Amino acid sequence: MEGYKREFIQFLESAGVLKFGDFTAKSGRKIPYFINAGEIKTGDQIAKLGEFYAKSYLEKVGNERAVLYGPAYKGISIAVATSIGLSKAGLDVPFFFNRKEAKDHGEGGVFVGYKPQKDESIVIVEDVITAGTAIRESMEILSSLESKVVACFVMVDRKEKGKGTKSAMAEVGEEFGFPVYSVVDVYDIIEYLSENEAHAEDVARIRAYLEVWGAKD
């Protein structure tokens, strides 16, 4: 596992974003761990989150310039933080996000921030993908633009089944024709937890869960 991935998991755990126990997902599934980006609530935390997204972006996309799109609401701070992280790494990229309701006065419209130009590449930055509903909503919102979505980044790939046997991330990628990347995936988390005997039960519970709900990508 790359060093930054280990650091990222440590960061998620220390910030309270990654929790272990008994939880119920939106899908109704009983899950042994939970990712809550809402626990990111200080300047230091959001700055670190942006640095990790930036490292993942540079690893997967390289120095290709794209416009970052952060879906309201959690994606907004992720887009801003990622653009700052990339800027510190030497790549200055613009960002924009949507309003939940279109504004009918002033500048108007549904978008805030940079206005993507024709044929520019857009990269969506989100927290997680569970069933893919949020990404499908984003694609509907972005359909009014003459730009093209070329990738999506999330914190964690759960490697869980979506509608079929493939993961929700894989299904979204196939549906819209672009790759969906994650900073880490659940198997990185298992590897990290396996290094500490105190997490032996958590590892066993996650493995058991994946035996039932794990994707067959």
Catalytic residues: 103, 105
With beta carbons less than 8 A apart as the criterion, state whether 186 and 156 touch.
yes
Exposed/middle/buried for 58, CB within 10 Å: 0-12, 13-18, 19+? middle
Residue 129 token pair: 């993908």
Residue type for position 30? K
Question: Residue 17 has what DSSP assignment?
Answer: S
Distance of alpha carbon 149 from alpha carbon 212, whole angstroms: 33
With beta carbons less than 8 A apart as the criterion, state whether 34 and 44 touch.
no
Distance of alpha carbon 37 from alpha carbon 12, whole angstroms: 9
Distance of alpha carbon 186 from alpha carbon 126, whole angstroms: 17
Give me the torsion for CA of 65, 71, 72, 77, rounded to 10°.
-40
* Of residues 164, 155, 156, 153, the one with CA closest to residue 215: 164
**Sign, Cα dihedral of 62, 67, 71, 72:** positive
